Chain A
Amino acid sequence: MIRQCLAIMQRELFYMWRDRSLRNILLVGPVLALLLFAGVYSYQRIENISTAIVDLDRSSASRQVITDLKNSQNLQVVAYFDTFSQLEESIKRGEVIVGVVIPENYGKNIALQRQTKVAVFIDGMNIAYATNASSALLTVTRTLGAQVGIQTLIAKGIQVNQAQEAYQSIAFPEEAWFNPTTNYAYFLVLAFALNVWQQCCTLASCMTIIGENGRRSWYQIRTSGISLLKLFFCKSLVHIGILLLTVLPVYFLAFVVFKLPLACGWSSFLLFNLIFILAVHGLGTMMSSLSPNAVNASRYGMIIALPSFLFSGFTWPLQAMPQWLQHVVWIFPQTWFFQGVSFLTFKNPGWGFMSHYFLALGLMAVLFYSVAALRLMVSDFPHKG
């Protein structure tokens, strides 16, 4: 019994190691993904958003607007144009993201306390860029509006301190919890790398059964009389161990080298990963049992693994999805995993909350393995009549 199990496990280990493409995908893929994504998001925030100004007024007031824009933390004034059409052309060519047009008589209207408009244009082609540009502009315009308001009140004979108090009577201090600097690297790097890892896991798991009974060596196994339950149990133990090992370097780089946040302890985080591996390996094994050949198993795996990250609600919130889809996406282990990883790394909400995630993934594993076993019994166990 033990000799058989050890032989199966050793053979599986050798098989995975000798399959160069599988080895490289599992060992290098997730780590490489983490390094690449860490490089991509190394600036952590979107700064120096290229901004162009059309100053049609050229007054001291308009120069004040330009100074405020230049002093903004995230905006970088890179061009000055004489006309709106020049600005429009520059935005079309992608040279600038933000365009500010200060109208004629801007200074005069401010001085006369008349309403005036400074037109602001943002290139909305890239949502991340546009959102950050909008946020940076809001800071500038809010400050500028307050300054002009205070000056207007002073011009009307109100004391300086009273005018300032009038504009500061309601404060809205912002405090971003869990990711105070709204760091993109904290939010995306680990999740993107884990997405690559989960795809590797799903695809590798899709070979569990068909990778064996789709080959001629299956005859050796079938005639040996070994219990298929024992065979696939031993194989799966190796797979699960390998899949867990392949994610460890990713976490070492993420949490130790790149200092990404890990609010919970290592043990509960790894346990959560183990439960996810069981669920996703179960899913792959089920797909494997339903597939007529290895190519189809890979296709089924791809169909699940590729979009599952988008469905998980990580990049696009579940609450912003149609109601029916919000329910559907929870059938994927990946949704529970990515949601759970977010909670555990940023918040650590405690066992009471996370137990649902552990339970759901555990139940999925049981369900998927059961379907796979049932399918094998129906289609591949010809001798139980």
Chain B
Amino acid sequence: MGPVIRVTNLVQKIGRKLLFQGISFEVQSGECLGIFGTRGAGKTSLVHILAGVDRFKSGQVEILGFNIKKTEKFKRTLGLVTQESSLFRDMSVVENLDFIAALKKASRVAVRELIERFQLQEFLTKPVTSLDIGVLQRVSLACALLNQPKLLLLDEIIKDIDLFSRNLILKELEQFLAEGGTCVSTFSNFAFAQSFTKVAWLEGGEITIYDSEAAQEEWNRQEKYYAEQSGRLL
């Protein structure tokens, strides 16, 4: 079986800035790739390209064997959680779940099941604009899982959220991976690096793939180096 994601010589330009200078990587089934980078490194742009919502300048991106420039069939088995909420702001929690289920041709049984799994019962009639960030991310992930995706794309899903929601989300992600799902998730806090099978380090328009331990070592090395450069003692 081929990789779930195959990115070859991906070039992306935003305005005059060259964001990706021909990056290539693969993600195998069952893996969880963490994309790390500082602000503006292109983490969100990369996730949006993989989700097929942003166009790119050149290169080739294959998701589940589909060339995403030629077809949208790969979206049937894709789930996306964006960094800033992309739920429908004029709707309540249950209306979002129902509407997104209809868009994704998911069943109402799936909606009920996800409401229970993410413990959303008490929030169903609330407008999504009134939710705390933790609950909002639970709803967002529930929506992303409605179509039982094979690939989950997550953009900073557990950043700055309450511990209960974080643990609930991590539990569901672990279950998703255990069931053979594949995941790509951006993060900017290196404390989460151990959660990923591999870490893709985005810097200067290029990508370097590490296993999680090597990524941690590289992080420690860079932290020490820049502390010395700045004259700050660690």
Contact = CB atoms under 8 A, between A and B. Distances in A.
B52 A382 contact: yes
B53 A223 contact: yes
B102 A3 contact: yes
A220 B80 CA distance: 8
- In this complex, the member of A215, A220, A384 whose beta carbon has the largest number of chain B beta carbons within 10 angstroms is A220
Interface size class of A (residues with CB under 8 A): 20 to 34
Contacts of B89: 215, 217
B88 A219 contact: no
B70 A216 contact: no
A289 B88 CA distance: 20
Contacts of B145: none
Nearest to A17: B90
A341 B102 CA distance: 41
B68 interface: yes
Interface stretch (B20-28, B71-79, B215-223): B71-79
A382 B55 contact: yes
A142 to B, nearest CB: 66
B69 A224 contact: no
Contacts of A383: 52, 55, 68-72
Interface string A201-237: 0000000000000011111111111100000000000
Given A4-B102, A383-B69, A223 B52 contact: yes
A220 B72 contact: no
Nearest to B77: A225
Interface stretch (A7-15, A56-64, A317-325): A7-15
Given A3-B102, A15-B90, A222 B53 contact: yes
B87 interface: yes
Interface in B81-102: 82, 84-91, 95, 98-100, 102
B54 A224 contact: no
A11 B71 CA distance: 27
Contact of A220 (B56, B76, B143): B143
A15 B234 CA distance: 54
A223 B84 contact: no
A18 interface: yes
A219 to B, nearest CB: 4
B105 interface: yes
B32 interface: no
B104 interface: yes
B51 interface: yes
A192 B75 CA distance: 49
A226 B54 contact: no
A219 B104 contact: no
A352 interface: no
Nearest to A15: B90
A19 B70 CA distance: 37
B51 to A, nearest CB: 5
A220 B103 contact: yes
Contact of B90 (A14, A216, A220, A384): A14
B234 to A, nearest CB: 39
A14 B88 CA distance: 12
Contacts of A222: 51-53
A127 to B, nearest CB: 47
A382 B55 CA distance: 5
A7 B84 contact: no
Contacts of A6: 102
Contacts of A219: 48, 51, 53, 80, 82, 86
B125 to A, nearest CB: 14
Q: Which of A4, A6, A218, A383 has the most CB of B within 10 A?
A: A383
Contacts of A4: 102-103, 105
A22 B144 CA distance: 31
Given A4-B105, A215-B89, A226-B103, A382 B72 contact: no
Contacts of B90: 14-15, 18-19
A8 B51 CA distance: 22
A157 interface: no
Nearest to A1: B105
B136 to A, nearest CB: 12
B150 to A, nearest CB: 14
Nearest to A10: B99
A224 B75 contact: yes
Given A4-B102, A7-B98, A219-B51, A385 B70 contact: yes
Closest 9 CB pairs of A and B: A382-B55, A7-B102, A225-B75, A224-B103, A385-B69, A219-B86, A216-B86, A222-B53, A223-B80
Interface of A: 3-4, 6-8, 11, 14-15, 18-19, 215-226, 382-385
Interface of B: 48, 51-56, 68-73, 75-76, 78-80, 82, 84-91, 95, 98-100, 102-105, 143
21 contacts: A3-B102, A4-B102, A4-B103, A7-B99, A11-B91, A11-B95, A11-B99, A14-B91, A15-B90, A19-B90, A216-B84, A216-B86, A217-B89, A219-B48, A220-B88, A221-B103, A222-B52, A223-B52, A223-B75, A383-B52, A384-B69
Given A4-B102, A11-B88, A382-B52, 10 more contacts: A3-B105, A8-B103, A11-B99, A219-B82, A220-B87, A223-B52, A226-B103, A382-B56, A383-B68, A383-B69
